[in-house]
Every structure is written in C-alpha cells, then in structure tokens.
C-alpha cells in the first residue's frame, strides 16, 4: 500500500485557503500527525504559527474541528482572521457566553450544514451534557486545545475549569486531540498528556531559541538603580513594550510614576473590572498605549507582532512564566529586547505567593461529599462552602491522589478503591507539599538564570529539556564575552536519561551548560549540580 504524501497537500491548502506561500519550521511534522489521526502535543514559541497546525489539516479532514480556548478575546481574533477570507472551507463560528442562545443555535446549525468548519468553544459550554451531546452529533474530526498549559497544575495559568476536558473529549466521541502551547517544561507536558488522556501522543518541541530576542539581566542593588535602568530602556524610544511586575499595587504605583515622568503608560491587572481590562487590552493593541505595566494576568491572547521589548522589574516565579512573557516581544521577527531587572527581595515575594497549605479538614469534607454520589462542581461548592478557585485546587489534589475523578455530565465522582476521606486528605496534603517543593525549585532555577555567567539561552533550553551546543550570541553574557569563560567538563549522562541520587531519588537529566548539569527530580524538583563534583563523588547513577 502506498503511503500518502502529506507535504504537497498541506502546502496547497496553506497557499489556496490561507494565502501562505510556505510552512514555517516546526509546523509540518505535527500537521502530519494530525492527518494521521494521532494525538499530538506541540510546543512552539509565541508567534511561530501554532494555530496553522490545526487550521490547515482541518481542511483535509472529514468532520468539523472543535477549538477549545480559555480566552474569548483570543478566540475572536482567530475567528476574524479565518472569516476575512470569505471561504466556507475555513469559516469559523463560536459558542460561548458572549453569544445569545439564538446565536449559539445558528452557530451549531452552520457547522451541521457544512457552512462552517471551525467551532470555537469554552470548557464552560462543554460542561453542559446537552451541549456535549449536540457536539458529538456533529462528528468532529479533530479537537484542538489552545493554551494547553492551562490544564496543568504546574502551569502558571492553571484553570480549574479545564480539569474535566479529558472526559468532555470522550463525551464528543473521542476524536484525535491536538494540544498546543507556547511553553511547557517536562512536568507540564506530562500533566497535559495525563489530564487530557492523550493516547500515545506525538510530542513536538521546536523553535524555542528566539534569535531575534536579546536577553539581558541586571542585578539592582536598590530601587533607584532599577528605575534608572528601566528608563534607559524606555528612552531608546522603541515602542510599544510591556513591563511585568509582581503585584497589582506595584503595577498601579509604577504606572503613576511613569506617567508623572512623561511616559505614555497604563496598568493592567486581574483586580480591574472586566470592561476596563478589555478596553486597556484594545488600546494597547491599537497602539494607543506605549507602555503596559502589568501583572502576569496580561499577555495570553495578545496577537500583537510589533512589541519591541518586555521588561521584568521583579524576578518571575519560574522560567515557564518568564519564557511565556518574553515570547510576546518581537513576534514580527524584528529585533526585540527582554530585560530582567531583579533584586534579592523579589524572591521573597514569590515565596509568599507560593505559600499556604490546603486545609486538611476542607479536603476531608470534600472527599466525604464526593462519596455521596456524582456531583457537579456547583453542587459541591454549595455543599462545602468552598469558593470556585479553592474548590478547583482541592479537586485537583484529590484527583492526583486517586480520590476523585471527572465523570459523565461534568460531574465529579470517586474511583473504585479510592482512599477513604481521612486518608485522601492526608495524601492530598503530602502531594501539595511535594508540588510546593518542585515550585520552589523552579524559583531557584529562575534565580540561577538571573545569576548565571554562561549563555542564557543554554540555561533556558536546558530547563525545557532541549540542548544548544554553542553560545547563542543574543544574550548579554555572550556579547560581553562572559559566557566564553565557562569550561565544559564533559557529559557523564545523556540528556533525557534517568539518574538516581542517594537523597533526592529518581530524576531526569535536562541538559548541560558549561560545567553544570540540570536534573529534574521527581520528588524535589530541579537541581543544578557541578559535573566535576558529580563525577568525583559518584553522586548520580544510571536510573
């Protein structure tokens, strides 16, 4: 039997339906996986064309494509881009809280009658059993999940509403699943695969090294020095840009200081009213605001190619957050800057945010409530008095220790042989402690990135499990000649191989930079070790 030739067909659709003369690096292999009806997880940086990976194959697949995305603004941008070509083969419709019931019915009918190909939808809509059955009847050929890291407890934008997506997809008839994200370290990838119940997925990670993005870090002994370094960047006149801060209060105070100094700046954080946030987002997209001072709440869904720089005036909580946020600069391929201005005090703020153990009594009561029969999250919230976010976090912990699982009709239930409520609460607290240990290790890795004297791109890629043999040439250490001083001491273990430490247990070698090796341990998270010390003292053995 002759194997199908995918390349010419994909390029033809790209050219005829979308007007794209060629495919970008990193797109073809995951597109091929989609056409082969394989589940796939794709990690590509912001601006690398992730949406095309489901859009182009969708034209060739039978059945409509369901696109699940966490943000209505992001959905609207993608829908507008698809519909501007007036081609029914790539027409998109949406079912969400933004549409009236009549508009929702019309959208479903367009898909059913073949007048539209893409159905954009939110997890909240899929939680309705009737809606889920309606979509199953459409016989979708593909489910694409954008911003897939949101489903992960390790992802910095964890969304409790995403927890049941694996079961929801089964409720659609279990079509092939394509998960897309711009940043996913190995534990996040594993979590995405587990929570979405992906079947032997192809994993494609590429293009993480952004050669047009200059990485620069400066330690700031005091706030006055940090202000001077920040304004030196602003005075270069390359706009627009984003300044990330650690707290809502910091975003407002820094904006006030910038405006007072004559800069066109505005703030954005999660505590603002929805309408005000949307207006700020729109104003920044329309170049009415030069400088957006924001918490991590700002950024996902920004489709703005001309951002010239991203500055952090606080140490991010992890390389995951940092990489996601700097990825918003230079999407047009032109030179852009990523400037990190940090102080030792910044780490204390992140420790504070990551603190707070779950209440064992709340976990026990929730585990007991689950044993009375399948219940929706709304019913569980009413019964336990837990708020939506805390309920989602507690359910996530109970699910991870085998005391809860999503069931039919978006109802949570209890698996067979689940631990009893008291034992479940104890296991959940211990699992939270383990996660906190890993979270702290990610903050340690972020500080290591800030303090390193070697190539910064090598450090980042090592964290994400990728290797770069030579210095990148687009970070401050390389340009200043500092990175060349670091000598390599050999690589005693292959990248991605399993190793064991006498105290920390089993781990995975993530990568090398200079004479140091980064290992991700299952129980204690990321550790960076001296290769000569590892070799000289037999600290690691093959796992």
Alpha-carbon distance 144 to 82, whole Å?
15
* pLDDT tens-digit map of 441-452: 888 889 889 988
**For the chain, domain boundaries:** 6-205, 213-353, 360-433, 452-542
**Answer CATH for 360-433 from 3.40.50.620, 3.30.310.10, 1.10.10.10, 2.60.40.10:** 1.10.10.10
CATH architecture of the domain formed by 213-353: 3-Layer(aba) Sandwich (3.40)
pLDDT at 464: 83
Alpha-carbon distance 199 to 443, whole Å?
32
313: helix, strand or coil: coil
Between 60 and 389, the more confident residue is 60
Is 90 exceeded by the pLDDT of residue 215?
yes
pLDDT at 302: 72
Q: Does the structural domain 452-542 have CATH classification 2.60.40?
A: no
Among the listed residues 174, 161, 69, the one whose alpha carbon sits nearest the alpha carbon of residue 122: 69
Do residues 33 and 202 make contact, with C-beta atoms less than 8 angstroms apart? yes
209: helix, strand or coil: coil
Is 50 exceeded by the pLDDT of residue 330?
yes
Contacts of 378 (CB under 8 A, 6+ apart): none
Label residue 122 by pLDDT band (50, 70, 90).
confident
Token pair 């053995």: residue? 541
Do residues 145 and 178 make contact, with C-beta atoms less than 8 angstroms apart? yes
Comparing 6-205 with 213-353, is the CATH topology the same?
yes
**Answer CATH for 6-205 from 3.40.50.1820, 1.20.120.450, 3.40.50.620, 3.40.50.300:** 3.40.50.300
Label residue 488 by pLDDT band (50, 70, 90).
low
Do residues 291 and 264 make contact, with C-beta atoms less than 8 angstroms apart? yes
* C-alpha pair distances (Å), 205 with each of 29, 186, 209, 449: 10, 11, 11, 21
Helix (H) or strand (E) segment spanning residue 68: strand 65-68
* pLDDT tens-digit map of 173-199: 999 999 998 877 787 888 899 889 999
Beta strands in 392-486 (DSSP E): 405-406, 411-413
Beta strands in 122-198 (DSSP E): 142-145, 177-181
């Amino acid at each position: 039997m002759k194997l199908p030739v995918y390349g010419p067909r994909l390029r033809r659709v790209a050219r005829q339906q979308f007007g794209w003369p060629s495919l970008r690096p990193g797109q073809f292999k995951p597109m091929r996986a989609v056409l082969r009806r394989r589940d796939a997880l794709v990690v590509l940086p912001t601006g690398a064309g992730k949406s095309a990976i489901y859009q182009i194959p969708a034209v060739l697949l039978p059945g409509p494509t369901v696109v699940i995305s966490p943000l209505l603004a992001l959905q609207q941008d993608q829908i507008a881009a698809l519909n501007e070509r007036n081609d029914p083969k790539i027409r998109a419709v949406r079912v969400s809280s933004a549409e009236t019931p009549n508009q929702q019915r019309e959208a479903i009918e367009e898909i059913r009658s073949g007048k539209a190909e893409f159905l954009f939808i939110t997890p909240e809509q899929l939680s309705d059993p009737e809606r889920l059955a309606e979509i199953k009847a459409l016989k979708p050929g593909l489910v694409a999940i954008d911003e897939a890291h949101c489903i992960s407890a390790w992802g910095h934008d964890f969304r409790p509403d995403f927890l049941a997506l694996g079961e929801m997809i089964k409720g659609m008839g279990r079509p092939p699943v394509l998960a897309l994200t711009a940043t996913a370290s190995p534990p996040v990838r594993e979590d995405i695969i587990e929570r979405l119940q992906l079947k032997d997925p192809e994993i494609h990670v590429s293009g993480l090294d952004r050669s047009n993005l200059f990485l620069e870090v400066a330690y700031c002994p005091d706030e006055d020095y940090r202000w001077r370094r920040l304004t030196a960047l602003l005075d270069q006149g390359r706009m627009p840009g984003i300044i990330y801060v650690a707290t809502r209060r910091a975003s407002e105070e820094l904006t006030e200081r910038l405006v007072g100094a004559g800069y066109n700046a505005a703030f954005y954080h999660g505590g603002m009213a929805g309408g005000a946030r949307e207006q700020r987002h729109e104003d920044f997209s329309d170049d009415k605001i030069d400088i957006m001072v924001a918490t991590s709440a700002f950024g996902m869904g920004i489709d703005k190619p001309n951002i010239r720089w991203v500055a952090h005036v606080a140490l991010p909580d992890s390389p995951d957050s940092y990489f996601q946020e700097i990825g918003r600069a230079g999407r047009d391929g032109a030179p852009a800057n990523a400037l990190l201005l940090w102080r030792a005090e910044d780490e204390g703020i992140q420790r504070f945010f990551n603190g707070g153990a779950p209440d064992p009594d709340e976990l026990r009561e929730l585990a007991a409530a689950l044993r009375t029969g399948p219940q929706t999250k709304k019913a569980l919230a009413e019964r336990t008095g837990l708020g939506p976010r805390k309920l989602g976090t507690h359910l996530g912990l109970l699910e991870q220790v085998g005391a809860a699982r999503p069931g039919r009709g978006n109802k949570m239930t209890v698996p067979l042989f689940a631990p009893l409520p008291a034992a479940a609460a104890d296991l959940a607290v211990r699992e939270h402690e383990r996660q906190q240990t890993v979270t702290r290790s990610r903050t340690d890795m972020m500080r290591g990135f800030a303090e390193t004297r070697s190539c910064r791109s090598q450090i980042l890629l090592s964290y994400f499990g990728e290797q770069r043999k030579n210095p990148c040439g687009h970070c401050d250490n390389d340009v200043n000649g500092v990175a060349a001083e670091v000598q390599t001491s050999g690589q005693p273990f292959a990248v991605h191989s399993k190793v064991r430490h006498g105290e920390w247990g089993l781990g995975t070698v993530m990568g090398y930079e200079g004479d140091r090796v980064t290992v991700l341990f299952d129980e204690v998270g990321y550790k960076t070790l001296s290769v000569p010390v590892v070799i000289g003292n037999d600290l690691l053995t093959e796992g």
